[in-house]
Structure formats: structure tokens, C-alpha cells
Amino acid sequence: MTHACPKICHCTDRNGVVVQCTSRNLESIPPNLPKDTVVLLLSSNRIRHIPKEAFTDLHRLRELDLSHNAIESVEDTFAKLHARIRLSQNPWHCECSLQEVLRELRLDPETVNEVSCYTSVQEEYVGQPVIQVLDSGINFCNFHHKTTDVAMFVAMFCWFSMVTAYIIYYIKHNQEDARRHMEYLKSLPSTSHISKDYDTASSVF
């Protein structure tokens, strides 16, 4: 073995290393797994996130069990991985990135229908097996684009509303200033009135 067996796991050598980490209360993938690992059992833990580099050195991996964990989504974690993978009984969020990943995986046929949508971009698919939903022609990436378009429209509408409100405020504020200025001018004595007062004062003297 290139790396020693993780202390929390149990390893056996069967024409390659079998790493048994089932039910160990793990919250992450053990680091520095033996490079000659052929079977990696990580089921029944509390793993939520799988780093992209988690399995990059495991070129001999033939079987990977991540069932019964707390994984909601994955990225390019399984790129170039040819192992049979169990992903059942995880709280998957069904959306575009999960769809793209699952299409490239060699899922375990015995448990593939247990990979279900715990949450979804479309509520109607919650509780349904992901593969069955995809096989029916549903494309979660379309929902993703629609959601993005709606969000952009809402943002633009809010921006337009703010600009409009500012313009209205600016106009009203200027109108109010103009009205006050006119009232001030009206309150001043007229020129003719000042002239009469001046003539009266002159005649007195």
C-alpha cells in the first residue's frame, strides 16, 4: 500500500486493498487512502461534501459505496472514475449539476432506483427516483436556465423601479423648491409699493 490504512477504517488486501469505513460516524472522506484501493466502503456515515480530489489517485478503484450519508450534491468529484458507485439513500437536491454528474457515472444497478430527489428545482419530482425522472425526458438544466432568467428579470425590474422612484422624487423635490421660491418672491413688497413709500417719506421731509 502506498499509504497506510486510515486509522478509523479497516483494510484488507484482496488483490488490492478493500477499505472498510462503514458506520464510523465520518463527516468527510478519509485523506491519504491507499492508492491501490479497489473497494472503498463509506456507507452509513454523515458525509455531506465530497472534495473534487477525493478519488483522483484511486486509479484501481472498482467499487465505491457512498450510500446512507448526507450528500445533497456533487461536482466533478467522479471524473474519470470507472468504479461501480452506490449513491442511494442520500438527500439529493435534483437540479442541473446533479443531472450532469449522474449521466457520466456507472451507478450500481441494484440500488439505482434508491437515488431519489429529496428536494428539487421542481417540487413535483420530490420523492421520485432521479434516473426515472431523467429517463422520462425531464431536463433539470432547462429549469435552471428559466430560474436564472426570472431572477435576472426581477433584478432588472427592481433596478428600473429604483431609478423611476428617484426621478419622481427628484422632480417633486425640485417642484417643491420652485413653489417655495415663488411664495417667497410673492411675499416680498412690490417695486411700486416701495416707490410710493419712498415718495411719501420724501414729501414729509
Identity at 93, one-letter amino acid code: H
pLDDT confidence of residue 99 = 92
Q: How far apart are CA 52 and CA 50, in angstroms?
A: 6
pLDDT of residue 195: 54
Q: How far apart, in Å, are the Cα atoms of 73 and each of 77, 117, 171?
A: 10, 11, 51
For residue 19, what are the contacts with CB-CB under 8 A and spacing of at least 6? 5, 6, 9, 10, 11, 30, 33, 34, 37, 39, 40, 41
| pLDDT, position 14 | 83
* Residue 128 DSSP code: S
Give mean pLDDT in consecutive 10-residue pieces for the chain, a chain of 205 residues. Answer: 84 94 96 95 96 91 97 86 95 93 91 95 94 92 59 61 70 67 63 52 49
Cβ atoms of 54 and 76 within 8 Å: the answer is no
Q: What is the pLDDT of residue 149?
A: 46
